[in-house]
Structure 1
Amino acid sequence: MWIHILVFVLTFFLMEFMAWFTHKYIMHGFLWSLHSDHHRKYHDSWFERNDAFFIFYALVSIGFFLLWKYQYLEIGLAIGIGIFAYGLTYFLVHDIFIHQRFKIFRNANNRYARAVRRAHKMHHKHIGKEHGECFGMLVVPLKYFRDSK
């Protein structure tokens, strides 16, 4: 049981690295065509091509659930839930809290919330795929905490 909890926690935190890596080298790299509409909205749809990245990670999570269900990987459930939990957290922080795709969490104004918003704002000041900064989501550089006092 403890190994499953440990794997879940490790998976959740590893997903922050995966989000950073995917964002920096894939979204701002060879799949910029899917991510560009997130930096410069040139359409009227509520959906963005960028949302395809959620689908990718959902499929990876489902894959681990299936590996567990069909008894190929005993810790597959813990990994699948870790990926799902990070995806849900990412959705709540990025799409709802920061970009206000749903109008909730508007009044969160603690130091961490201000640092996350500021770091993401600095990321979005670059509308092209080059010269980006702050590619992670939940782990924010310390300078944004200092700036958010």
Structure 2
Amino acid sequence: MNILIGLLIFLGTFSIMEFMAWFTHKYVMHGFLWSLHKDHHRKDHDSWFERNDVFFIFYAVISMSCFYISSNTTFWYAIPIGFGIMAYGATYFLVHDMFIHQRFKIFRNASNWYAKGVRRAHKMHHKHLGKGQGECFGMLFVPFKYFKK
């Protein structure tokens, strides 16, 4: 029973992280922490790293904190929560950094309907170089209109 509950918590956490990514992207990254995110829209440096990578580190620390909490308390639910956050972070890295932005030159030939829709939605997001007037702040779930031909 605990395994089933843990699996449901993991899947729920992973799903909630898509909303958290959308919320953080729209209201934090394009809001009061635009100074950390703007180099992702307008590359103004020669480094492979971006100030925007701080957000990835933030969620990694939250995930690691869940593992710490679970090992030092009886709150075992923190383990599947930590793994859900970690799995979403890995998925985000694969889809956003490796597939969409090609920070590593792999997944170049992915051409199924889902890959094309996600890439198209993200391209529309980056069409806006400034802080405001953005669209498509999510990553895995984007509006259906981007999947149409």
Shorter-chain TM-score range: over 0.9
5+ residue gaps, structure 2, are: none
The separation in 1 between residues aligned to 2:20 and 2:75, in whole angstroms, is 21
For normalisation by structure 2, the TM-score amounts to 0.97
Secondary structure at the aligned position of 1:95 is classed as: helix
Residue 119 of structure 1 aligns to a residue whose secondary structure is: helix
Q: How many residues align?
A: 147
Counterpart of 2:10 in structure 1 is 8
Task: Supply the RMSD in Å over aligned alpha carbons.
Answer: 0.6
Matched residue, 2:70: 68
**1:120-146 CA distances to partner (integer Å, 9 max, x unpaired)?**
000000000100000000001000011
Q: Does 1:124 align with 2:126?
A: yes
Moved beyond 4 Å, runs of 4+: none
- Within-5 A mapping of 1:1-149: 1-147=3-149
Q: TM-score, normalised by structure 1?
A: 0.97
Structure 1 unaligned residues grouped into runs of 5+: none
Aligned-residue sequence identity (percent) comes to: 69
Distance 2:143 2:72 in 1: 41
Q: Equivalents in 2 of 1:146, 1:30: separation in Å? A: 34
Residue identity matched to 1:132:
G
3-state DSSP of counterpart to 1:44: coil
Bigger Cα displacement from structure 2, 65-74 vs 119-128: 65-74
